[in-house]
Amino acid sequence: GFYHVNIPQLPPDPLFGIKASLAKDTRENKVDLGIGAYRDDHGKPWILPSVKLAEDLLHHSADYNHEYLPISGLKKFTEEAAKVILGEESSAIKEDRVVSIQSLSGTGSLHLAGTFINKFYRKKDDASFRAVVYVSDPTWSNHMQIFSSCGLATTKYPYWNDATKQLKIDQYVQAIEQAPKGSVFLLHATAHNPTGMDPKPEEWKRILKAISDNGHLPLFDCAYQGFTTGSLAKDAWALRHAIDSGDYHFPGILVCQSFAKNCGMYGERVGAFHVVLPEHDDALNSAILSQLSKIVRSEISNPPGYGAKVVSLILTTPQLKKQWERDLITMSSRIMGMRKQLVVELQRLGTPGSWNHITEQKGMFSYTGLTPSQTEKLAHDYAIYMSKNGRASIAGLNPGNVKYVAKAIDDVIR
């Protein structure tokens, strides 16, 4: 039977736990800096205008039904998704060496990547080889449990220097050089979660060269394309450089792509998993797609249709694509504006410490440097909720609460 001794109670997921505490808090001035979901100037969820237009189009089209999609997803969607992330002119697409399959958003894509690595990533001359996945320290808390649920071991590479609020780039590169050949390196394609600090282009080159020189497999997790700079191309620079520059030789490149954030389709679970092969090989392409399809079939049978139809309409209708690009600028520039305003307020108050890292960091999050006891005090005394590790979702700031948040931070720091 089922006995409690075998089924220990787990604590709530930290982030969804914050959401629950926030929902219970009855104070009117409460502020949600927890979960990474975009909010408008009034603190409300935002349905992108491009998404509304696409939904309208969909509702009036012959495609509007709730039939099953194919196991590998909506082909129009996966093909267009590959172009969004790899670029219209991608050498990999032109040379037909990309295998794409639809996933349950970014999380489902990472799960597919983990399962695929566990089952099929091997060394020709070493039957006992099993790769370890290297993740940044710190990283999105779900990474470790996703990979361990796929049967993979994870370990951390140095990333963030708390004292200087900069990357530990030398130690990072050293860790790549010292990892057993053939390791998997999980790279945040853009808008690193939780630090908000991405490598600069010169640093990316060092990282990619070390991965290439040491025979490792790069896995790009791309959950925030368009959120860092507002430009899809700029935010995909590192991945496109890894593929198109010709400077590196990888055993393949895995790409986990989410449209949750950049289309504001969080709950619709729109994403894709791409395997970029080093050279064109029809038989291998087809074998990989067949195996990924088998995984999908056994886990979810087929992916959800609605969001994929909406996103594929955005990507295939030039007018909607332009609107989406404007929407990305709206979101990314509002967040950048809030970063600036928060720093201005903290400086105006003379809050002890330096706060420039908040504007140096990009994307949804700022790793503020606030301690667990300070974040606890913010929640308890001021109804301001953020992760215990001091990660604040900047999208939760708006003109109506930024002064209040700055004053509260000032109070808990003094």
Instruction: For residue 238, give Cα distances in angstroms to 2, 34, 47, 149, 207.
Output: 49, 28, 29, 28, 10
From the CB of 140, what's the least distance to ligand PLP, in Å?
Answer: 4
Catalytic residue among 32, 198, 237, 261: 261
| 387 part of the interface to ligand PLP, by CB under 6 A | no
Distance CA 230, CA 331 (A): 8
Q: Is 221 a catalytic residue?
A: yes
Q: Which is nearer to ligand PLP, 90 or 136 (CB)?
A: 136
Can you tell me which of 100, 190, 193, 351 binds ligand PLP, judged by CB under 6 A? 193
Near ligand PLP in 138-157, by CB under 6 A: 140
| 189 part of the interface to ligand PLP, by CB under 6 A | no
Contact partners, residue 254, CB within 8 Å, separation at least 6: 113, 116, 117, 217, 218, 219, 220, 273, 274, 275, 276
Can you tell me which of 106, 182, 199, 218 binds ligand PLP, judged by CB under 6 A? 106
From the CB of 306, what's the least distance to ligand PLP, in Å?
Answer: 15
Distance CA 399, CA 344 (A): 13
| 36 part of the interface to ligand PLP, by CB under 6 A | yes
DSSP state of 126: B
Give the up-direction half-sphere exposure of residue 32: CA atoms within 13 A in the CB hemisphere.
Answer: 24
From the CB of 284, what's the least distance to ligand PLP, in Å?
Answer: 27
DSSP state of 255: E
Q: Is 140 a catalytic residue?
A: yes
| 257 part of the interface to ligand PLP, by CB under 6 A | no
Nearest Cα to 81, choosing from 57, 63, 100? 100
Q: Name the segment binding ligand PLP (CB under 6 A); options: 41-49, 103-111, 120-128, 203-211.
A: 103-111
Q: Is the CB of residue 172 less than 8 Å from the CB of residue 139?
A: no
From the CB of 193, what's the least distance to ligand PLP, in Å?
Answer: 4
**Paired tokens of 86:** 């790899």
From the CB of 224, what's the least distance to ligand PLP, in Å?
Answer: 7
| 398 part of the interface to ligand PLP, by CB under 6 A | no
Distance CA 103, CA 399 (A): 36
* Residues in contact with ligand PLP, shown as a per-residue x/- string from 259 to 298 under the rule CB under 6 A: -x-----x----x---------------------------
**Paired tokens of 221:** 């997790």
Q: Which is nearer to ligand PLP, 271 or 305 (CB)?
A: 271
- Identify any residues that bridge with 104 across adjacent strands, giving them in sequence order: 270
Residues lying near ligand PLP in the complex (CB under 6 A) are found at 36, 105-107, 140, 188, 193, 221, 223, 258, 260, 266, 271
Catalytic residues: 140, 221, 261
